[in-house]
Amino acid sequence: MTLSPSAQTAALAIFSVLATLAMLLCILTASDSGDPLDFYTGYRTPLPWTNGLAVAGDYISAATVLSTSGIVALSGYDGVVLVLSTVLSLLLMSAVAEPLWRAGGFTLGDIVARRIPGRSVRAAASAVTLAALLPFLLVQLSVAGALMSFMLGAPDDGVKAVCICVVGALMIGYAAFGGAKGTALVQIVKMVILLGASLTVVLIVMQRFHGSTTDLLHAAEQGSAAGGAYLRQGLEFGAGTRGRLDFVSVQLSVALGTGCLPHVTMRMTTGNDARAVRRSMSWAVGATALFGLFVVVMGVAAAALVGHGPITASDPQGSTSMMLLPQALGADFPSFGEAVLYAAVGGAVFMTLLASVAGLTLAAATSIARDLFAQVIRRGRGAQRSELAAARWAVLGIGLPAVVLAVLVRRWNLQVLIALAFCIGASAVAPTLVYSLFWKGFNRRGLLWTLLGGTAAVAVLMIFSTAVSGSPHALFPTHDFHWFPLQTTGIVTVPLGFLAGWLGSRSWSGVRVRRPRPAMEHPVPVGVHDAPTGE
């Protein structure tokens, strides 16, 4: 499928306009108060719908939009369930948004240290945050390079590298100058453009099929080259017990892990009172569910109108299906209509790419500045201005290596890193949040076991999974050192993470080091007993 020059020009023009607009917004709204809290919070008194759209914007990342719509287009049923689990994850988080807001703070370290303080806790929380967010950032940058070079009609290696560098430079600028306030605005603009463009595409699709779901689904079954199997579970993960377990594992990891990733929770806790927090979460879930519905229709329409062959020829995982659909639709309205539709969807995807990389960089930098720098290195006694400077330098310190790395590995299939982030969210962060918000018996050892044990279990199983080696779509397709038979680890590591937290919090008479009882004439204040064990 070739692009007309007018569509390319329109795409390039709209990219420049959007990038400049977003940069202006960031610089205009940036606060110069020198208070790091202003850098981390969006607005002190946000409207529910603006904050809700910002949460949804942070939540709907570019990699998830593109890969999910691709899976809907290529595998139908499996993709629909994936959309469902993605929306469900945010719905589940809206139930814990209120206790999270009461716990206060921005980073994972802030949330857990409220009940269980200490430098080790802060360091572990920051390590887990970075372990989840940095791979996620890398895959977003890589997708940005691939998608932008595709949209400009020049999908070759050099263009891809240049595109990654441009997106990376913009991302560092947005995060460092704008802080949470600037990126919130970028997220809101992105959500409006994304929802508007997808609604337009959905309406054109429905008009094309005269509003008949029968015709649409029938055409999709034909176009997907799978026939009746398109509307049955099993196309994406294969039939048989292993494929079914893989399906359950992916859905479980996404449903539990996506919503509690630190860049989402950081945005969720902005608000004046519990009601404002609840209302903004209602808006976020509503916007996400609506967009999920659009993704389902667009994916099915891509299968029907573009077809399986052209989609896999452009990208084996179908990530470009969202861009191929407007081209197929635009063929009805020659030249001008095609250019406008293509540029609108391209602009929405471009904005999504920019906003998600900026949001991820900001969240990772916040964790470094607040947890590592302010609490672990300066032990909570540093000046506020130095914390703000640390946050800005951390944006650069994360952004630059991420861009360089993304350029170096631009030929690899990095889908496995999305799964890694979700699995860490589901196996380490979710048990930690549930226990520290709802279980009084949770203690420091349980916390460290959950955070570090859950992450380590995910990392080890993931390295030896079929997503890294031993399958044609793996990270290293030519090697085979796998012994874990699934693509995602959630089905094993989620129970493991919960178990680790509970076991760690128990007192083990055999494991715990016995201490001499305090002498009666020097009573130790209640609560200090647990402190000096040195464990």
Interacting residues with other proteins between 41 and 70 (CB under 8 A): 48
Q: Using CB under 8 A, which of the segments 10-18, 111-119, 146-154, 390-398 binds other proteins?
A: 111-119
Binding status of residue 73 toward other proteins by CB under 8 A: no
Q: Using CB under 8 A, which of the segments 227-235, 309-317, 320-328, 423-431 binds other proteins?
A: 227-235
Q: Please give the backbone phi and psi of residue 211, each rounded to the nearest 5 degrees, phi first.
A: 70, 15
Binding status of residue 233 toward other proteins by CB under 8 A: yes
Site string for other proteins, 487-506 (x = CB under 8 A): ---------------x---x
Binding status of residue 83 toward other proteins by CB under 8 A: yes
CB of 293 to other proteins, least distance (A): 6
278-317 binders of other proteins (CB under 8 A): 278-279, 281-283, 285-286, 289-290, 292-293, 296
Contacts for 467 with CB less than 8 Å, ≥ 6 apart? 415, 416, 419, 474, 475, 487, 488
Q: Using CB under 8 A, which of the segments 21-29, 262-270, 272-280, 361-369 binds other proteins?
A: 272-280
348-407 binders of other proteins (CB under 8 A): 379
Q: Using CB under 8 A, which of the segments 37-45, 249-257, 335-343, 474-482 binds other proteins?
A: 249-257
Q: Using CB under 8 A, which of the segments 39-47, 99-107, 149-157, 526-534 binds other proteins?
A: 526-534
428-447 binders of other proteins (CB under 8 A): 438-441, 443-444
Contacts for 406 with CB less than 8 Å, ≥ 6 apart? 138, 141, 142, 145, 164, 168
Distance CA 22, CA 190 (A): 10
Binding status of residue 127 toward other proteins by CB under 8 A: no
Q: Name the DSSP letter for residue 519.
A: P
Q: Which of 40, 86, 83 is nearest to 59 (CA)?
A: 86
Instruction: Return the number of the residue (2 or 214) whose C-beta is nearest other proteins.
Output: 214
Instruction: Return the number of the residue (519 or 528) whose C-beta is nearest other proteins.
Output: 528
Which residues are registered as beta bridge partners of 469?
476
CB of 173 to other proteins, least distance (A): 33
CB of 454 to other proteins, least distance (A): 19
Positive or negative, the CA dihedral 10, 15, 17, 18 is positive
189-218 binders of other proteins (CB under 8 A): 212-218
Q: Give the DSSP letter string of 278-334.
A: HHHHHHHHHHHHHHHHHHHHHHHHHHHHT-HHHHHHH-TT-TTHHHHHHHHHHTTST
Crossing angle for the helix pair 384-408 and 336-367, nearest 10 degrees?
A: 130
Binding status of residue 333 toward other proteins by CB under 8 A: no
Binding status of residue 81 toward other proteins by CB under 8 A: yes
Exactly one of 27, 28, 47, 95 binds other proteins (CB under 8 A); which one? 95
Q: Please give the backbone phi and psi of residue 469, each rounded to the nearest 5 degrees, phi first.
A: -150, 160
Contacts for 93 with CB less than 8 Å, ≥ 6 apart? 259, 260, 264, 265, 268, 281
Q: How many CB atoms lie within 10 A of CB 240?
A: 10
CB of 84 to other proteins, least distance (A): 5
Contact of 365 with 398, CB cutoff 8 Å: yes
Positive or negative, the CA dihedral 215, 71, 185, 429 is positive
Q: Using CB under 8 A, which of the segments 57-65, 274-282, 413-421, 478-486 binds other proteins?
A: 274-282
CB of 426 to other proteins, least distance (A): 12
Distance CA 499, CA 503 (A): 6
Instruction: Return the number of the residue (238 or 309) whose C-beta is nearest other proteins.
Output: 238
